[in-house]
Chain A
Amino acid sequence: EIVMTQSPATLSVSPGERVTLSCRASQSVNNNLAWYQQNPGQAPRLLIYDGSTRAAGVPARFSGSGSGTEFTLTVSSLQSEDFAVYYCQQYNDWPPYTFGQGTKLEIK
């Protein structure tokens, strides 16, 4: 099973700032990685797939990069609605599909 590790667990940032979230895989997943955003009480929402492709309707301030075992999600200028929990998910080697434990973005 591929273990996905996200860091940090919590990130305190101010609106308007640029932020980078990290996701590391225990073995190479090539570019077979997705990012999701989850607001409190809501279902996760797909942001990025194939490591760097934005899903339909996702604002351009979200960008993904990386391949192999190291990936990042960058939000260029945080808006109030971006304060949420973010998860990465690998789909290179399954079963099972696996998620990171999440990074919570909170308002500083």
Chain B
Amino acid sequence: QVQLQASGPGLVKPSETLSLTCTVSGDSVSSFYWSWIRQPPGKGLEWIGFIYYSGSTNHNPSLGSRISMSVDLSKNQFSLRLTSVTPADTAVYYCARHFRGLNAYPDWFDPWGQGTLVTVSS
């Protein structure tokens, strides 16, 4: 059974960098695409970006150049960095396996990790 666990600081100061890591168990990160999704308190879901084990990435254009992602095959982990954070980046951050359908492109998200709340505040 695939399980994902996001971890990282729960509090980040404005203008600093948010860094999160997702540890995958029960599957290899070299098998699928992997995504980050966030949910501001009481609001809906926003896709942040995905990474493939090769290092190939794609992200939500709304985040511009603030985002970077990486994968560590030896630790079976993938990571997210979001620079120049503001209070608008306060959210529960989820990592998820981004499942490929028949067309070989990443499609739906399954399963999701439990999520970690990151608060941006001074």
Chain A residues near B107 (CB, 8 Å)? 32, 34, 49, 91
Verify B47–A50 contact, CB threshold 8 A: no
Q: Is the interface of B mostly helix, strand, loop or mixed?
A: strand
Say if the beta carbon of B15 comes within 8 Å of chain A.
Answer: no
3 A-B pairs with the lowest CB-CB distances in the bound complex, closest first: A43-B112, A46-B110, A34-B108
Closest A residue by C-beta to B106: A91
Say if the beta carbon of B11 comes within 8 Å of chain A.
Answer: no
Q: Within the assembled complex, what's the spacing in Å between the Cα atoms of A101 and B111? A: 20
Q: Within the assembled complex, what's the spacing in Å between the Cα atoms of A55 and B111? A: 11
**Partner among B46, B62, B114 whose Cβ is within 8 Å of the Cβ of A99:** B46
Near A by CB (< 8 A), chain B positions 90-105 give 94, 99, 101, 105
Known: A43-B94, A49-B101, A50-B101. A98 touches B47 (CB 8 A): yes
Q: Return A45 CB to nearest CB of chain B, in Å.
A: 7
Verify B108–A89 contact, CB threshold 8 A: yes
Closest A residue by C-beta to B109: A46
Near A by CB (< 8 A), chain B positions 15-63 give 35, 44-47, 49, 58-62
